[in-house]
Amino acid sequence: MLTLHNLKPYRKSVQRRKRVGRGLGSGHGTFSGRGAKGQKARSGGSIPAGFEGGRMPLHRQLPKKRGFVSRRPPVSVVSLRQIVNKFEAKETVNPRILAQKGLVKSALMPIKIVGDGDLKKELIFEKVLVSGPVRAKIEKAGGKILT
């Protein structure tokens, strides 16, 4: 019966370790697969990675990577003036509708409403970020901000 304690690998799937330098009959005697003399035939005689024979290697010819990449996701910015022009009173402003009206490219990115322009319409904002002055303008006009 086959159980976990007597499992063995298939005998042809496991190869024996190649032992070099153990006589001519082994097929890996004399030079042990390293060819004749030279730096690469010696022990410890490996050439460093990236070494190009003494000339300036490519990795030293190219400039180092510089700069800073922010891990904060980019935010689409929409001005209050654009929203006032595109929306009627009592309408809902959310990422999907902003994308449909062409104010943002993608509804998947975070969207922030920033303030220039006056808001006199009562609008409902949902799933968007708003700046402090815009929040005050929305509440003054009787609108709501839903998260």
Domain residue limits, the chain: 76-146
The pLDDT of residue 82 is above 80: yes
- Provide Rg for the chain, Cα atoms: 35
Angstrom distance (rounded) from CA 83 to CA 98 = 9
The full DSSP string for 124-140 is EEES-EE-HHHHHHHHH
Q: What is the pLDDT of residue 74?
A: 92
User: What is the average per-residue pLDDT within 73-88?
Assistant: 92
**Chain segment 19-78, per-residue pLDDT in tens:** 999 999 998 999 999 999 999 999 998 999 999 999 999 999 999 999 999 999 899 999
CA pair distance 147, 140, nearest whole angstrom: 18
Q: Is the pLDDT of residue 147 over 80?
A: no
* Least confident among 50-54, 81-85, 116-120: 116-120
- Give the mean pLDDT of the chain: 92
Query: What pLDDT is recorded for position 1?
Result: 87
Please report, rounded to a whole number, the percentage of residues in the chain having pLDDT higher than 90: 83
Question: Cβ distance 120 to 141 under 8 Å?
Answer: yes
Question: Which fold is adopted by the domain 76-146?
Answer: Ribosomal Protein L15; Chain: K; domain 2 (3.100.10)
